[in-house]
Amino acid sequence: MQFQKKGMTRVAAFAGAAALVASAFTATAGATTKVAAHTTYATTKACLVTDTGGINDKSFNASAYAGLTAAKKLSSKITIAYLASSQESDYATNISTFENQHCNIIVTVGFLMSEATWLAAVATPSQHFAQVDNNNAAPYGDTSGHAGPLSNYLGLTYSTEQDAFLGGYEAAAYAASKNPSAPKVATYGGMQFSSVTSYMDGFYDGVQYYNTTAKPAHSVTVLGWNRTTQTGTFIGSFNDQATAATDTTAFLTQGATTIFPVAGADGLGTNTAVKQWNASHSIKANVEWVDVDGCISDATDCSIFLNSITKGVTPSVTAAIVAQATGKWGNGGNYVGTLKNGGAAFVQDKGLTLFFSKTAGTALAAKIKTITNDIISGKIKVKVGS
């Protein structure tokens, strides 16, 4: 699935993406809506509760809000609203506020909101919820007594370890070309959730795949994440750019040439640190952006992006709202985004031309395409966890 095709308007592109994503929901989701000109929409109020990064985090909150606005463009009967959470204690309050405002569907963003979303869904079976980065099952430590699944809850999840694998491979290729005697790359997370570490696992495994198949003179080392022990560097939040910049500078000082921040708005701190580093070093470092296409969400930093390792938050949120608005909700369920259905997507941006020679870039692009096809076919299986 492609999110946007040449010759399509932005609204048409989102409509097509929503239709394709909706058709990829599991059978239990019942969300098989086709977005077409003759589609009948009911009056629908779609409401979004963001995590603490807010809708301008240039990452997962921003892409969820884009899904909301894309749904609004599909029909004048769809209205939207959002509330930004300043702290974790705001989650339940914001959800309750939207319930009182009679939102038809409430979308919550991020794994941190799992408990508040689940408890609200259990307490109000008539209220429909969709949550980014969590599946339709009770979160760890839940005391509601309902293990799930719930018919009023739609989990939006993404196999981001797949496209992160491609990012790890490309980062390793760059490191081996620029610092062949001691090549290093780095990754870090905002907080240690499965939706974060799945990216880091895939990145790590992509580096190891490069080591075993390309056989560089010296294996590329991954800083910030130990795949075996599942331990590594975490900021402790998704909106602490100062700490992210400090940690990034430490990685660069140790020799990392690519930084992969899986940390929402924290990544903006990484961008600042990398640009400062590049201003005084001959070997240029770069960044692999997360969740959304960095060259679109943060165009001013496009020149330092090697690539973007994304998840299809925008079209999946749009599809959930379309399912609500067209009466195709069914029994809730789960959506799992993959390389195959477009819910996980590797965006090359300008990285190959900015950081590789024409010959090396062409060869690497072909290799990335082969690996992508091998992951889609199942020849390469990318796993998560220890």
* Predicted local distance difference test score (pLDDT) of residue 347: 96
Query: Is residue 292 assigned to a domain?
Result: yes
217-253 pLDDT, tens digit per residue, is 999 999 999 999 999 999 999 989 999 999 999 999 9
Number of folded domains that form the chain: 2
pLDDT at 386: 77
Does one domain contain both 74 and 127?
yes
For residue 245, the enclosing domain spans 160-311+356-377
Q: pTM for the whole thing?
A: 0.82
Are 145 and 270 within one domain?
Answer: no
Residues 185 and 297 in one domain: yes
Question: Taking 70 as the threshold, does the pLDDT of residue 1 lie above it?
Answer: no
* 2 within a domain of the structure (yes/no): no
* Residue 348: inside a domain: no
Do 145 and 178 reside in the same domain of the chain?
A: no
Q: Do 248 and 284 have their domain in common?
A: yes
The pLDDT-based confidence of 36 (bands split at 50, 70, 90) is low
At residue 28, the pLDDT reads 33
In this structure, the answer to whether residues 257 and 288 fall within a common structural domain is: yes
- Compute the Cα dihedral for 52, 57, 63, 67 and give only its sign: positive
pLDDT, tens only, 270-283? 999 999 999 999 99
Pair (38, 179) in one structural domain: no
What end-to-end distance do the CA atoms of the chain give, in Å?
A: 30
Q: Are 233 and 362 within one domain?
A: yes
Distance CA 112, CA 117 (A): 10
Residues 63 and 185 in one domain: no
Question: Is pLDDT above 90 for 341?
Answer: no
The tens digit of pLDDT for each residue in 93-150 reads: 999 999 999 999 999 998 899 999 999 999 999 999 999 999 999 888 788 888 889 9
7 has a pLDDT exceeding 70: no
Q: Is residue 345 part of a domain?
A: no
CA dihedral 261, 262, 268, 271 (to 10 degrees): 20
Does one domain contain both 324 and 264? no
Q: pLDDT grade, residue 85 (50/70/90)?
A: very high
Residue 304: which CATH number?
A: 3.40.50.2300
